[in-house]
Each structure stands twice: as structure tokens, then as C-alpha cells.
Amino acid sequence: MHWDGLQTPAWNGAISNEAAKREIATQLASRAADGQVIGIGSGSTSFLALLALSERVKQEGLNILCVPTSLEIESYCTALGLTITSLVNARPDWCFDGADEVDPENNLIKGRGGAFVREQLVFAAAPQRVILVDESKFVPRLGSSFGVPLAVVPEAANLVRERVREATGHEPVVRPAKGKDGGIIDEQGSLVMDLPIDGSLPPAELEQLLLGTPGISATGLFVGYDFEIIK
């Protein structure tokens, strides 16, 4: 995250399909109502939606509480003057988030930004959910473009590799960090690993298998949720 000269937060790096994402963000921000608690997802589309939402709050004087899904999004909310809270103190009326892949049954892969543990919690807590995606995110099956992110207890990395390879025929790999040696450690202290998948197991069955593996605390599979898609 960085700020320009006007102290407005700016996204790090280029935003792909930015025009389409800005249109999606504007649609999303129009849904906010005074007094709501809103779960704020991670990723570039959610960032643009957050900017649009903050403009409505400033212009209309809306009283909104934000439940961020990452420290980065929390920082953006603070920079924009939005009031933040947490699941400890409030339950979202609704939430919005992006996705890395969406299959024909509306199963999702999320977590390329490494925030999928908190994203999963907010998604589960919110009675209404909105997914913000452009056409590039729709795939014939999960795993077409990305592996499944896994949150792994660091000491269990070798055990997880072995157990998952035996069960699925594929071995999860540590996601390399940028700017430092070693792998990515998420905000909960878990090692982030990515599992290539080939579609041989239904997403719900794969999720159950992975969550039953000692050392895996969460996955980037979002299966069985009801949500609306804005595209």
C-alpha cells in the first residue's frame, strides 16, 4: 500500500481489467445503507469498491462499520477515515470480496493475496455475500488457473506434503515470499502452501479431505456458500 500526495491510498502495482473493476465497484458501493456493518474483502476489486464506498460515506454522511479481512484492508479503511470493527464486536449485515476462480457451481478459490483465513471467517459470519469478479475469473473447473491455498502450521509442512500427496496424487508447495527468504507466513502465523488440483475430486470432498489433514487449519476453497455475483 502507498499514498499519493493527497493522502489517498493507492493499490500497489497495476490493476488488471481496471475499467471493468471500477464499474463493478460503483455498483457495489451503491448498496451500502446507513447503520450497516459491512465485511470488506481483500484484493484489487475490493480495494476499488472500498474507495467508492468511502466516497459515499463522505458525501452522504453514512454511519457504517467495516470488518476488514486483512491488515492491509484495515490500513486502507483507516486511511480513508472509515470506522473499523471486528467479528469480536459485530456481525456483518453483508460482505463483499473478490475471487481468483469461480466454477459453474459457484464454488470458489480465494487466497492469492494470502488473507483467506479471515476472508473465510467473515464470509461465514455474513448472512448476505457479494462476490466481485470480471469474466477472467470464470473457469470450467477449480484449479484451472491456480492451486488451492492452504494455511499450514509451519512445523507440519513436511507431514502435510506427505499426507496430501498420498491422498490426492499432488504435492502442495510453499508459496515463495517476495523480498525475503523462505515462504509466505500469513497474519495468523501459518505457512501458505498451494496445492495443484486436477478436478478428480469434487470441491466439497476435497475441502473435507484437506481440513481433515493434521496441520492444515484452513483452505482457500469456498464451497457451499450462497452469494450474489456482480460482474
Least confident of 11-20, 65-74, 209-218: 11-20
Which residues, in sequence order, are CB contacts of 63 under 8 Å at separation 6+? 34, 35
For residues 139-164, average pLDDT: 97
Q: Catalytic pick from 72, 74, 101, 119? A: 119
Residue 215 belongs to domain with CATH number:
3.30.70.260
Residue 117 belongs to domain with CATH number:
3.40.50.1360
Same domain, 66 and 89: yes
**CA Rg value for the chain:** 18
pLDDT tens digits for range 43-71: 888 899 999 999 999 999 999 999 999 99
Q: How confident is the model at residue 7 (pLDDT cuts 50, 70, 90)?
A: low
For residues 94-114, average pLDDT: 95
Same domain, 120 and 55: yes
23 noted as active-site residue:
no
Write out the E strands in 4-128. Answer: 9-10, 37-40, 65-68, 83-84, 94-97, 101-102, 108-109
Distance CA 127, CA 137 (A): 24
Q: How confident is the model at residue 111 (pLDDT cuts 50, 70, 90)?
A: very high
Distance CA 193, CA 85 (A): 29
Which residues, in sequence order, are CB contacts of 13 under 8 Å at separation 6+? none
Contact by Cβ (8 Å): 222, 188? no
pLDDT tens digits for range 159-188: 999 999 999 999 999 999 887 778 999 999
Distance CA 86, CA 17 (A): 31
Which range of residues forms the domain containing residue 190? 148-219
Provide the domain count of the chain.
Answer: 2
Same domain, 97 and 157: no
What would the DSSP string read from start to end of 179-198?
A: SSSSB-B-TTSPEEEEE---
